[in-house]
Amino acid sequence: MIIYDYERPVSVFGYDATLGSQTFRTVSGVIAYIHPSTGTTYHLVIHQAIEIPQMDHHLLCPMQCRVNDVTVNDTPKFMTKNPTSDDHALVITDPNDEGYSLTLPLLIRGVTSYLPVSRPTEQEWGSGNFPRIDLTSEELEWNPASTRYQEQEEAMTDYRGEVVHRDDRPRPLVINALVSLTTPVADITHDDNFGSVLESKVCISAISTGTMGTTQGKSVDALTLTKRWQIPLDRAKKTVLKTTQRGIRRVLDPTMNRRFPTNDRMLRYDRLPHTIFTDTMIAGTVSKRGNKNAQVYATNFGWCRAFPMQKKSDAHETLSLLFKRDGVPPTMVMDNSKEQTLGNFRKKCREADCHIRQTEPHSPWQDAAEGNIRELKRGASRKMIKKQSPKKLWDHAIELEARIRSCTALDQYQLDGEVPETVMKGCPADISNICEYEWYEWVMYCESTSQFPSDRFVLGRYLGPAIDVGSAMTYKILKANAEVVPRSTLRRLTLEEWESAEHKELRRKFDEQVTTKLGEPATVADFEADDDFDPNDLTPSYDKYEPLGLEGTADSADLILNLLMRNLNLRLR
């Protein structure tokens, strides 16, 4: 039973060019299946399928099912050593209990494996009384011309055709290669199988899949857009060509009781134009917030984001933040870690129409996140050592360093003189919220709870921008009791405050309290054991490009102003 028409017609080309092409609809269909053991009736939903009206049976593409986390074991039990009930069957997550799997045994007719199904009625489907199972994905867009499957299969073997085994030894931050588990779903009768989809009475002696193909159209074509938007046809054609239609939903029968899926990740989030690499960074110190790891997302031209997390299994939560704050990339490249390739992480990527690819075994250079993690650790370590900030604040430092690196003009050819943030987002990067203060700089922030006659401005330390809190110019401030608060009203210390004996004592007591709460400041020795970089890189020295106190920076301008005001006060006295 057809429940949905994507209005995305597909032109299908056969193995013989003289036969021409035929156009078919792309639809979602439902078939009923009665489990032989329990007698329970399930509704199996097949999304993004090609409807061929003259066929009297269904053809299901195993690849399309597998990318939707359906295990297809198509080897007959009698040909399997030590067969089990999961052999020669479809193994699916039980819709009634996600902690268990459901096995749908396959039968054989002649030499063809099949699943006995029937056509459900509209009343049965509309009632919602039968468990529903999606055999194929509705979100991931299928592109039959993609070479993903070929590339992934080739990446699994070496030049001799032998499988490249992954190293099971614990090696933090080392990645594997270019193979994908989550890739676009296939039509049940896509080009690789079209030779089997021709009319059932046609006998085919051979099939050459390389000469077959399909061409997909858009749900709303140029003529329809011209009518609805009342724009010229040439503009409509260009509009359809330059835009996407990821979320269009239609039904064939308006009387059918069917709710549309509520997932709109493919539309709700911005779309990023570049592939993103990701990896998990492991820290040697548990931060004040309890973080032991950080999920880093990066590109090969230096754009990156870092999301500290308490445990590796929280990786999918950082993915949600990336999608919400920055957008969804077309492809996510990662290693073979379970927290990244399975479970919620994989599910969220699929729902957002983001394809997952994996790196080759023993090939960490294929993951750009590796190099970015190294640079983030270098930059954050330098800042922490220079400002003598506690090691337990590493997660705040790594977040700030990721944003600084993204907005730094790096020596990368493909940046063409731009900063990574500009290339990634397509508009000039604004650095207002990360350039105004230095990491762990002394600041005076406004504390609204202060009561008269106490000063409303209180001493604190700058830790970086507070994302998703208040305005864009809200910052994270470390208090003397080691708590972090978001504040937007703050300033630097004046020259009088720097020289004041009373204020010096206040800063000394502040550092003592922070040390008591968070531990000793970071030193070079804390990072020398890390294999990611040379200890000499931790304390680089740079030549001053202009004398202190001259024009050139906001800091020097403030210093000159303070000196002038001080001299003026002396003269007035």
3-class DSSP state of 469: coil
Mean pLDDT, residues 420-428 = 90
Highest mean pLDDT among 14-18, 220-224, 436-440, 530-534: 436-440
> How much is the pLDDT for 546?
47
**Cα angle for residues 441, 444, 450 (degrees, 5° grid):** 145
- pLDDT at 533 > cutoff 60: no
CATH 2.30.30 placement within the chain: 433-537
- What's the pLDDT score for residue 247? 56
Pairing of β 132-134 and β 41-51: parallel
Whether residue 465 is predicted with pLDDT greater than 80 in this model: the reply is yes
What's the mean pLDDT when you consider all of the chain? Answer: 78
pLDDT at position 513: 93
pLDDT value, residue 457 = 86
Q: Mean pLDDT across the stretch 213-221?
A: 57
Q: Average of pLDDT values for 136-152?
A: 75
Q: What is the pLDDT of residue 439?
A: 92
Confidence of residue 373 (pLDDT cuts 50, 70, 90): very high
pLDDT at 188 over 70: no
CA distances to 278, 319, 351, 385, 410 from 420, in Å: 16, 20, 27, 26, 8
Q: Is the pLDDT of residue 291 over 90?
A: yes
- Taking Cα atoms as reference points, which of 64, 86, 60 lies closest to residue 75? 86
Answer whether residue 449 shows pLDDT above 80: no
Quote the pLDDT of residue 26.
84
Which regions of the chain carry the CATH code 3.30.420.10?
A: 273-425
251-264: pLDDT as tens digits: 555 555 555 555 55
CATH classification for the domain delimited by 273-425, as one of 3.20.20.70, 1.10.10.10, 3.30.420.10, 3.40.50.620: 3.30.420.10
Q: Are strands 355-359 and 331-334 parallel, antiparallel or unpaired?
A: parallel
Predicted pLDDT at 484: 92
Report pLDDT digits (tens) over 348-366.
888 888 888 888 777 777 7
Q: Which CATH architecture has domain 433-537?
A: Roll (2.30)
Across the range 150-157, mean pLDDT stands at 78
Average pLDDT over every residue of 411-436: 88
Q: In this structure, are residues 300 and 370 in contact, taking their beta carbons and an 8 Å threshold?
A: no
Instruction: Let me know how long the chain is.
Output: 573
pLDDT of 423: 92
Give the max Cα distance, the chain.
108
Residue with the bigger pLDDT between 499 and 10: it is: 499
Q: What is the spatial distance between Cα 28 and Cα 41, in angstroms, rounded to a whole number?
A: 19
Average pLDDT over residues 97-103: 83
Task: Determine the pLDDT at residue 551.
Answer: 43
Task: Inform me whether the pLDDT recorded for 199 exceeds 80.
Answer: no
pLDDT tens digit string along 468-524? 888 888 999 999 999 999 998 899 898 999 999 999 999 999 999 999 999 888 888
pLDDT in tens, 544-571: 444 444 444 455 556 566 655 555 554 4
